[in-house]
């Protein structure tokens, strides 16, 4: 079984979400059905798209949440039912040791995701910079760990904002 982690942008247009979903499904189909174990922090955007794509290709996924308050502090009220459903579908859910959600917890969760992964999918527009633990930073850290990285950014994909 291959363990594939995900990092990616949160703020995606609706049209982009469909394009990215299709691209992730195509990437995951390169592996035998049921032999993919996704590793995700289940953030809005790319992480949740990835979780749905893993299920659609008959794989499983595990979730690493940044802190125990993540759901209450970070998930928008209108997105709670989708988030809760994805958590229920996870094969395993764990938390970092961080007491509260925030940049340190997000980075710790991303680093744990990288440690548990054999390769990384990055839903990334290729722009450098951003904050510690953001998509560009996680890609840089994965490459420093010599983790294979596949960037997914289909033609027509766009972000609704840059942070």
Summarised one tens digit per residue, pLDDT across range 45-65 is 999 999 999 999 999 999 999
Domain edges within the chain: 2-152
Q: Give me the pLDDT at residue 161, please.
A: 77
The pTM (predicted TM-score) of the whole model is 0.95
CATH fold of 2-152: Rossmann fold (3.40.50)
* Chain position carrying tokens 């988030």: 83
Q: Distance (Å, rounded) from C-alpha 14 to C-alpha 3?
A: 27
Q: Give me the pLDDT at residue 109, please.
A: 97
Positions in the chain whose pLDDT score sits under 70: 33-34, 162-163
Best CA proximity match to 63, nearest among 28, 92, 37, 103: 92
Helix, strand, coil abundance in the chain, percent, nearest 5: 40, 20, 40
How would you label 107-126 residue by residue, b for 16+ Cβ within 10 Å and e otherwise? bbbbbbbbeebeebbbbbbe
Q: Give me the pLDDT at residue 133, please.
A: 85
Positive or negative: CA dihedral 158, 136, 55, 155: positive
Q: Give me the pLDDT at residue 146, please.
A: 98
Kindly report the average pLDDT of the chain as a whole number. Answer: 95
Ranges assigned E (strand) in the chain: 2-8, 36-40, 60-65, 92-95, 119-123, 149-152
Q: Give me the pLDDT at residue 135, please.
A: 94
Q: Give me the pLDDT at residue 33, please.
A: 67
């Amino acid at each position: 079984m291959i363990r594939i982690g995900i990092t990616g942008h949160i703020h995606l247009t609706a049209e982009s979400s469909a394009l990215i979903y299709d691209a992730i499904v195509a990437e995951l189909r390169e592996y035998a059905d049921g032999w993919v174990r996704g590793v995700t922090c289940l953030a809005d955007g790319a992480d949740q798209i990835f979780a749905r794509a893993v299920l659609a290709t008959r794989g499983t996924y595990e979730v690493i949440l940044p802190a125990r308050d993540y759901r209450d502090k970070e998930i928008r009220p209108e997105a709670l039912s989708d988030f809760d459903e994805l958590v229920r579908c996870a094969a395993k859910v764990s938390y970092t040791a961080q007491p509260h959600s925030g940049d340190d917890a997000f980075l710790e969760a991303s680093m744990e995701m990288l440690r548990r992964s054999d390769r990384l999918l990055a839903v990334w527009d290729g722009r450098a910079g951003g904050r510690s633990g953001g998509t560009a930073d996680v890609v840089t850290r994965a490459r420093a760990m010599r983790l294979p990285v596949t960037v997914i950014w289909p033609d027509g994909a766009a972000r609704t904002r840059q942070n």
